[in-house]
Amino acid sequence: DPTPWTSRILPHFRDTVRLGCRVAASAGRGQGGCLVTARLRPAGGRLDALRGWLVGPALETCREPGGAVGVHVLETVAETTRIRTAEGGLKGGELAPAEEPWPLIFLVECSDPETARAVVAGPLSSERLAAHGAGPGGLLRVHSLQITMDRD
């Protein structure tokens, strides 16, 4: 069950979903204050090509000097994603039963908004994603960390 704090805060979240994932690849040495999220669907028959590009060239390009502090490729686990939670109902962010989750998630942790914008315009541009197998229905977002809190 959600705590009272969670029940009060989650309805204010926007554009969120809960996806159960396994880590396919991860590189970097830190956590960034800006996070680029790419929820990706492959074009027909291009899942392996898209995955291969993400775990190889895309990951390396994004972590080059002056780039991201962390880059992660996640593969959605449908069975875990379909589990309904009370928290999901509070924020309205769980997928509807008829929806398929995005099979691949690409996360780029950046130190500043300028770096995040450069990642979106360069390595994760719609043209480059399409050239490497991404199809329609993907979502690309930039998020920023507002606050972190300790327990006490």
pLDDT tens readout for residues 39-63 = 999 999 999 999 999 999 999 999 8
- Helices (H) and strands (E) in the chain — how many of each? 7, 5
Confidence at residue 93, expressed as pLDDT on a 0 to 100 scale: 54
Range of the domain at 104: 22-78+98-144
pLDDT band at 98 (very low <50, low <70, confident <90, very high): very low
In a domain, 86, yes or no: no
10 contacts: CB under 8 Å, gap ≥ 6: 2, 87, 90, 91
Average pLDDT over residues 124-141: 95
85 vs 135, more confident: 135
In a domain, 39, yes or no: yes
Take residue 125 and report the two structure tokens written for it.
Answer: 């541009």
In a domain, 140, yes or no: yes
In a domain, 54, yes or no: yes
| pTM, to two decimals | 0.84
Number of structural domains found in the chain: 1
Phi–psi pair at 68, nearest 5 degrees = -80, 160
In a domain, 116, yes or no: yes
pLDDT tens by residue, 109-126: 999 999 999 999 999 999
Confidence at residue 15, expressed as pLDDT on a 0 to 100 scale: 67
What is the side-by-side order of every strand in the sheet holding 34-40?
21-28, 70-76, 104-110, 34-40, 139-144
Q: What is the CATH number of the domain that holds 130?
A: 3.30.70.100
